[in-house]
Structure 1
Amino acid sequence: MDVAIVALPLLGALIAGLGNRRLGDRGANWITSGLMLVSFVLSWIVFLRYDGNPRVTELFTWFESGTFEASWAVRVDQLSAVMLVVVTTVSSMVHVYSIGYMGHDESKPRFMAYLSLFTFCMLMLVTADNFMQMFFGWEGVGLCSYLLIGFWFHRPSANAAAIKAFIVNRVGDFGFALGIMGVFLLFGTVGFDAVFAATPEKVGQTFHFLSWDVDILTTLCILLFIGAMGKSAQLLLHTWLPDAMEGPTPVSALIHAATMVTAGVFMVCRLSPMFEYAPDAKMIVTIVGAATAFFAATVGLVQNDIKRVIAYSTCSQLGYMFFAAGVGAYGAAMFHLFTHAFFKALLFLCAGSVIHAMSDEQDMRKMGGIWKLIPWTYGLMWIGSLALAGIPFFAGYYSKDIILESAFAAHTGAGTFAFWLGVSAAMMTAFYSWRLILMTFHGETRADHETYHHVHESPWVMLAPLIVLAIGAVFAGFVYYDKFVGETMEAFWGASILFAEGNEVTHHAHDVPTWVKLSPLVVGIAGIALAYLFYMFRTDLPARLAGTFGGLYRFLLNKWYFDELYEAIFVEPAKRLGFGLWKGGDGAIIDRLGPDGIANVSQDVARQATRLQSGYVYHYAFAMLIGVVILVTWYLFGSGW
């Protein structure tokens, strides 16, 4: 069963990708979606029936060279079982949703094959038994994200976004690869169990770099976390995520809501036996996560593209997960990953339903007044937003609150920093969530007459997946609270997560002061109220504030100018260097002296030779006479030469 969960999406990708002409659109839809749904059902069976005993199904030896050995295996423990449920649930719903959303696209089999291939790579990542297999899945989802973001390759913006995602992820992946190399160098193996068992023995060991003695475990964990920063769009390596909205909306829901971007969070939790012995690395994880949560929330306040608002929300929520892991609350990080998968995928697919209804319009400034025309989408968007804002008793209320409580309970400088930035981000999250709802669905319509006239509800093949995800957005929180972060969490997680010193942080989180527990709810309600004031009762206020604080507004609208900064520091110098090497090196030196030089000499010789072909008989007779003179001279005097 474990192997089937992973293999079925690959089978669907191969059938749809290689046989798309024979299968046609309908065949590709049925095969990929059907196999994905089977994998979804099997994943839930594994999750619900898991007995607490980890199992590894080794398929074959992948690499074997000297002392280096890596197998291809399927590892199922509680951590991977949770991820199997998350990945297959979201992916299967996206597959079904895509049947309707991509109904008019000319390349549906290719799209469905890409979705299934991506799912296979993600499943290989979460069931990996060693660093090498994890790296395979890691790079596989990166490749598939490139294909899916750039699926509409006839659009220059989609091509640019795909390349940007690929390159930025390579920056993080370089750190990840160095970390894996360092792990093998230090431990002599890349198998998780062997590395985790030997980690306590490596505490305190250092290596000399330049003039410093650097802690080895801290260095390795930081390098591995750099990989997580790229894949999970954390601050400094986040710039690819908003641009990735150029891909079809189902891609946004699959990749940027619940699967690929959570790979970094999963990786940090999987490597908890290493991070727990590297407190400085954990502090860096906490600070980066908290800064990301705050930064992305500020940018989300002013975005006008409906998908970009949700994209920055994803970036912000990933920050919550990371700073939870950074303070040692790995169960809380995974709990938020679990609940977030449902309500964020729901929000993205609801946004796709709105775009579908609005004839592909994505600018919220050109919407409004449509809630009665698409009531199902409107109601489901409310459910997703309530869960995202952390309103009782939706899923996000339970998972976000335990993260903030854990950060406060850590009683560290980094934990306190994360708590206050997290509370601030919670208020902004509630504000921009209702800003999205009010601008999109309420007030007088700002759409042109023709677009508004054609607004219609999505077909049931698109609505049914939304309902399934909405059930998770409502019930996933309180149903699984005790298992993930409650009294039974040690028994639930077992050995899949290291609970250092009884995981005091998560236990103490339940005993924080009442004001700490109430603060996320209070600021969330305040954010919603402020959104109603701005976009329902005093609609002149947003424009007045933007005019009064023009510099701040432009700063946020331009995403803190990270793209412009990177353009000036990295992109433009690289372009100038490349242009100089091309023109000055390759063109002026190599080509001139090499291929182009030889060709030019040949052309000159040929050009001179053509002058002899004048077409006049006396020229040819004169040339013949000269030839005869030369031959006679050689004959008469040649022996003397």
Structure 2
Amino acid sequence: MIFIGLAWLIPIFPAIAFLFISFITKRFKPVSAVIAIAGMGLSLIFSLGVFYEVITSGVSINQPVEYAVSWLSVPINIGAGVLIDPLTAIMLLIVTFIGLLVEIYSLGYMQNDPGFSRFFANLSLFSSSMLGLVIANNYFQMFFFWELVGLCSYLLIGFYFHKPSAARASKKAFIANRVGDFGFLLGILCLFIAFGTFNFRELAVSIPVYSNVLFLIIAALLIFAGPVAKSAQFPLHVWLPDAMEGATPVSALIHAATMVAAGVYLIARGYILFSSLHEVSLVIAYIGGITAFMAGTIALVQRDLKRILAFSTMSQLGYMIMAMGVGGFTAGIFHLTSHAFFKALLFLGAGSIIHAVGVQDIFKMGGLIKKMKITSWTFIIGSLALAGIPPLSGFFSKDEILSVTYEHGYRFLYYLGLFTAFLTAFYMARLVFIVFFGQERQKNPVHKTPWNMKLPLIILSVFAVFYGFLSKTFASYIYFQAAKGIEPNLIIMSESVAAAFGGIILSWLIYGKQVVSSEALSVRFKPIHQLLFNQYYFNELYNWLYERIVSNISRFFHWCDRKIVDGIFDNTTFLIKRMGIKLRLVNSGSVQNYAFIFFIAIAFIILWLAAPILGGI
């Protein structure tokens, strides 16, 4: 198993590319791009090798390959290692493959950008961090790369740092994730206190026999806070729509293969902890279901092309989290990988559209099917896959989630997911009918899309069409404890397809045939429209909480720091300073002063010695 033994090199290649670009080739744009693409290409080759060896050697999640070295030994011993199993192998393949396509696409998209080399350097570090997270064999190592992923997202979301909106978005993403990451850190420390290890395999043996269930629940919920933030789940979801301020290739990478996927991957990697606690599983399932529904409703009324796709990502991540909560390990990971292809396709397609027309408001676009054939048809394929139309990949993966939810008795979540499928089909059809088949609104000529932007779209569209047919093969390799394939349920399948086609037909009536005026509907249901357009006012709520509570608490501590703490130290230093002023006269360096002090001292000594004699007289 050559490639498995060298799997530690997979995150190293893009890391080396980052260093070369940052310190050597930054001024040479073509060289920087070649180095970044070469680094990711090598990682992809090694990932393919790892995947092949895992599939052919019988390595499973129950029997992984692991090797490690000592990383930290003071004050506790922490190892740094590699854990290879089918879950690791498929994630390595997804990250490197989509990362490579995004970098090729960026050759055209970022061609005239003055920060070209900096962009490719940050992309390389971002990919390296995600790959390091995927191969980690313990929570501590994962947390290290988890934070690096957060740092890279900060750099890439705020890539256009001269724009105030981009600077605010990057800080918002960074702060929201720090909230979840603080819980994640506390959770893994709780596990270390209980078991004395961060290692996944050692914890998998110890957790099922641990008796303090309440402590485990607390630890699991704290760890789950990490995925809630990283995968933009309710209530820490507010950062993801604003993250669209970054360049569109960044959005594709974040939404398809890296940052938001990290949260779902963490739940899968620590599944032995979450699945052994029914209460925690319920929390996970309902958080996912609520997020899927909430994000789906918000996407109905958005105008910005990238924001519609961002809320779509939140909704689909909700599906994956819900699947994990209800016991659908295989279904959740299958949808994660399936979603990666068509969501990367949609974001890169959106970038191609924005590159061509120069706007992001879908109501300022129209008729693009006549001018951008490849972009239009590949985007439509991605939209149909996302909507769950058979036989595209999204149909198979979403249907498995609905099936496992229904089969395990979560009827409310099943119907919530079914209605969300209807919403998904509706808002994606709305986007397609307006942008590609609607009235032409753009006045400026449409710019041509270069080949290096079209090629990734074509490749991803092929996977969006055919990847779903691998569902049975996928389930035979990616499973938890025992392979559990959900047999096709024709009733559930029919209901999901009916929901998808129902959403498309209703959208066609409103935005295609215009049987009903969308403007009239928004006026008639203005309170609901405003509620959804303003994202349930979560941003306003958090701003209010910050201004009224957090800010006041901060001002109180600031007052304590300045008036009490500083006052104590300032007065102490003032007293010492005054004492020093007086005492320094003793060592003034003046011979006259020393003679005077000497004379006074002798006089006092003489008087002290003469006092008894004088008293006798």
Q: Same fold (TM over 0.5)?
A: yes
Q: What's 1:444 paired with?
A: 439
Give how far 1:588 is off.
6.9
Does the Cα contact within 8 Å between 1:52 and 1:77 map onto a contact in 2? no
Q: 1:577 to 1:75 in 2, by over 3 A?
A: same
Question: Which residue does 1:194 correspond to in 2?
Answer: 202
Deviation of the 1:249 alpha carbon: 0.4
The aligned amino acid for 1:7 is: I
Q: Deviations over 1:294-353 (max 9, x none)?
A: 000000000000000000000000011011111111011000001000000000000000
Measure, in 2, the Cα distance between the counterparts of 1:83 and 1:226.
Answer: 22
Q: What SS does the aligned partner of 1:529 have?
A: helix
- Confirm or deny that 1:63 pairs with 2:72: yes
Residue aligning to 2:474: 484
In the aligned structure 2, how far is the partner of 1:21 from the partner of 1:137?
A: 25
Match of 2:71, as an amino acid?
Answer: W
Distance in 1 between residues matched to 2:488 and 2:388, nearest whole Å? 20
My pick for the range that moved more, 294-303 or 431-440, is 431-440
Secondary structure in 2 aligned to 1:20? coil
Matched residue, 1:80: 88
Question: Is 1:457 paired with 2:462?
Answer: no
**Structure 1 SS opposite 2:83:** strand
Counterparts in 2 of 1:226 and 1:592: CA distance versus 1, 3 Å: closer
Instruction: Determine the C-alpha separation between the residues in 1 that align with 2:82 and 2:553.
Output: 45
Shift of 1:576: 4.0
1:125 and 2:133 correspond? yes
Report the CA distance between 1:45 and its aligned residue: 2.8
Q: Which residue is 1:536 aligned to?
A: 512
Deviation at 1:592, TM superposition (A): 9.1
Contact 2:241 2:310 survives alignment (8 Å): yes
Letter in 1 for 2:487: H
1:171-570 equivalences in 2 (<5 Å): 171-202=179-210, 204-206=211-213, 215-359=214-358, 361-411=359-409, 415-447=410-442, 449=443, 451=444, 453=445, 455-478=446-469, 480-485=470-475, 489=476, 492-493=477-478, 497-499=479-481, 502=482, 506-507=484-485, 509-510=486-487, 512=489, 514-538=490-514, 541-570=517-546
Q: What one-letter code is carried by the residue in structure 2 that aligns with 1:368?
A: G
Q: Structure 1 residues 539 and 32 mapped into 2: Cα distance closer, same or farther (>3 Å)? A: farther
User: 2:99 touches 2:257 (CA, 8 Å); kept in 1?
Assistant: no
CA contact (8 A) 1:205 1:216 kept: yes
In the alignment, what sits opposite 2:120?
112
CA distance in 1, matches of 2:323, 2:561: 51
> Partner of 1:62: helix, strand, or coil?
strand
Equivalents in 2 of 1:330, 1:418: separation in Å? 16
C-alpha deviation, 1:571, in angstroms:
4.3
Match of 2:53 among 49, 59, 74: 49
Which whole-Å deviations, capped at 9, do the CAs of 1:29-53 have from their partners, x for residues lacking one?
0110122122123212321332232
**Higher mean C-alpha displacement, 570-579 vs 258-267:** 570-579
Within the alignment, does 1:161 sit opposite 2:143 as a pair?
Answer: no
CA contact (8 A) 2:319 2:417 kept: yes
C-alpha separation in 2, matches of 1:283 and 1:551: 32
SS of structure 1 residue aligned to 2:79? strand
How far apart are residue 69 of structure 1 and its match? 2.0
Task: Kindly state the Cα deviation for residue 591 of structure 1 after the two structures are TM-superposed.
Answer: 7.9
Any conservation in 2 of the 1:52–1:78 contact (CA below 8 Å)? no
What whole-Å deviation, never above 9, does each CA across 1:525-544 have from its counterpart, x for those lacking one? 01111111111111652111
- Distance (Å, rounded) in 2 between the aligned partners of 1:99 and 1:587: 52
Alpha-carbon distance, 1:140 to partner: 0.7
1:366–1:586 CA distance, 2 compared to 1 (3 A): same
CA distance in 2, matches of 1:563, 1:345: 27
The aligned amino acid for 1:276 is S
The answer to whether the 8 A contact 1:218-1:279 is kept is no
The residue identity in structure 2 corresponding to 1:481 is S
Closer/same/farther in 2, CA of residues 371 and 457 from structure 1, 3 Å limit: farther
Does the CA-based 8 Å contact 1:94-1:250 persist in structure 2?
Answer: yes
Give the distance between the partners of 2:463 and 2:44, measured in 1 at CA. Answer: 14
Instruction: Check whether the contact 1:324–1:330 (CA below 8 A) recurs between aligned residues.
Output: yes
- Shift in CA distance, 560/576, structure 1 to aligned 2, threshold 3 Å: same
Confirm whether residue 94 of structure 1 aligns to residue 102 of structure 2. yes
Q: Which residue of 2 aligns with 1:210?
A: none
Corresponding residue for residue 603 of structure 1: none
CA distance in 1, matches of 2:219, 2:564: 43
Unaligned stretches of 5+ in structure 2? 575-602, 604-617
**SS of structure 1 residue aligned to 2:236:** coil
8 A Cα contact 1:242 1:308, kept in partner: yes
**CA positional deviation for 1:270:** 1.0
Change (3 A) 1:39 1:200: same
Q: Is contact 2:323–2:332 with CA below 8 Å preserved after alignment?
A: yes
- 2:35 corresponds to 1:31: yes
Q: CA deviation at 1:15?
A: 0.6
Q: Judge conservation of contact 2:274–2:280 (CA < 8 Å) in 1.
A: yes
Distance in structure 1 (CA, Å) of the matches to 2:350 and 2:241: 15
Identical columns (%): 42
Q: 1:56 to 1:588 in 2, by over 3 A?
A: closer
**1:86–1:259 CA contact under 8 A, matched in 2:** no
* Residue aligning to 1:135: 143
Letter in 1 for 2:361: D
The one-letter code sitting in structure 2 at the alignment partner of 1:114 is N
What's the secondary structure of 1:75's corresponding residue? strand
Following the alignment from structure 2 to structure 1, what is the Cα–Cα distance between the partners of residues 367 and 283? 45
- Computed over aligned residues only, the root mean square deviation of the Cα atoms, in angstroms, reads 2.2
Assess if the C-alpha contact under 8 Å between 1:321 and 1:334 holds in 2: yes
- Displacement of 1:519 in angstroms is 0.9
- How many residues align structurally? 565
- Which residue identity does 1:563 align to in structure 2? N
In structure 1, the partner of 2:588 is: none
2:404 counterpart letter in structure 1: S
CA deviation string 1:25-82 (max 9, x = no partner): 1110011012212212321232133223232243x3211135x322222221111001
Structure 1, gaps ≥5 residues long:
207-214, 600-638
